[in-house]
Structure 1
Amino acid sequence: MRKPCVVAVCVMSLLLLIGLGLPGQSLAADERLAIGTASTGGTWYPLGGGVANMINKYVKGYHAAAHPSGASIENIRAVARKQDALALSMPDTAFYAYNSLDAFANKPVKEIRGLMSTYPIDIQFFALAKSNIKTITDLKGKKVAVG
């Protein structure tokens, strides 16, 4: 009876020592970074996912994940609340937040910083050829979808 217990203790000790000696993941967990984007049907959600993938691949000690959101205003507020570490925003919304204008009139967000520009933001309008809309002024009285 005593011999099997001694063997079991020796085997467990050996496995423990081998496990401690092997290189592997650090004992400290990676810091999690939430990235606010926009709706899943838009451009920002996959863009944020790409940024998260790059962080996960090249930046040790962090695990990033993009999540859908209500876009710029919601994203800046989430960063201000420290709910998100990173977020996408239109430049004008970031300007309004920093300078306490528009949606941020009562609560400026002075702690935000721009890290990078993603792409030039041009405004493009499309209409069906048969709609007879040729200029912006032709939109008067029409329903316009944005986003």
Structure 2
Amino acid sequence: MKKTKKTMIVVAVCVAMIGLASAAMAGEVKLILATGGTAGTYYPYGGAMSKIWNSKIPGMNVTAQATGASVENVRLMNKDEVELALVQSDTIDFAFNAKEAFKEPLEKMAVVAVLYPELVHIVVRGDLDIKSFSGLRGKKIGVGAPGSGTEANFRQLMDVHRMSKDDVNTQYLSFAESADQFKDKRIDAFMVTGGVPTAAIMDVATQRDIKIL
């Protein structure tokens, strides 16, 4: 797919005060960076960022935490359970404006930086005659975890192509779960909104013939 999004690093509004208090009391700043699932891009990317911060900034101790990715990360931040998060750009808009998975505005955060573009990948079995999004009608598709940014993007694409939920057999699976079921031919396709490369896609490509729409 040609649809492109951005991954941003988001910081809790109160992070500066937390950092100063920690430094004053213990001589060390301890922060949690919410990332994503281990089969996506956020987790290894966040781990690499944490290592750089910890090695280059005296007294810095950042821990990369595996999560359900963007939507969960926003909620964790607004509950003061993490101080830093990797979040898909449109998920931030959804959170601030109470759209999609968010029933009320969540505003206890600020964007620090735009990190890299994300692509909407739709991976299909190579032995199936699927050449476009509309070709997914009647197929079993992994659409991301419930309430995830990927799942929201899938519903947006359904609207664009004038398709309803009855047109496809949706499976609410994480990237890792989608990869496992795809390899076992229990689903026909799966969707990933993520950077390049993405572990789940690399995993299935080594074992199955695939196409990316």
TM-score above 0.5: yes
Match of 1:55 in 2: 53
Taking the aligned partners of 1:34 and 1:105, their CA distance within structure 2 comes to: 25
Match of 1:140 in 2: 137
Among candidates 47, 64, 67, match of residue 66 of structure 1: 64
Taking the aligned partners of 1:82 and 1:31, their CA distance within structure 2 comes to: 16
Taking the aligned partners of 1:128 and 1:136, their CA distance within structure 2 comes to: 13
Q: 1:110 deviation in Å?
A: 1.6
The question of whether the paired residues in 2 share the 8 Å contact of 1:55 and 1:62 is answered with yes
Q: Is the aligned partner of 1:127 residue 2:129?
A: no
Taking the aligned partners of 1:41 and 1:91, their CA distance within structure 2 comes to: 20
- Over 4 Å off, 4+ runs: none
List runs of 5+ in structure 1 lacking aligned partners: 1-26
Q: Tell me which structure has the larger Cα radius of gyration.
A: 1
Deviations 1:92-126 (A, max 9, x none): 111111122222222x1222111222221111222
Q: Which has the higher helix share?
A: 1
TM-score, structure 1 as length reference: 0.74
List runs of 5+ in structure 2 lacking aligned partners: 1-24, 143-190, 193-213
Taking the aligned partners of 1:97 and 1:43, their CA distance within structure 2 comes to: 21
Taking the aligned partners of 1:61 and 1:99, their CA distance within structure 2 comes to: 36
Aligned residues: 120
Taking the aligned partners of 1:34 and 1:59, their CA distance within structure 2 comes to: 15
Q: Is the aligned partner of 1:114 residue 2:111?
A: yes
Q: 1:141 deviation in Å?
A: 1.1
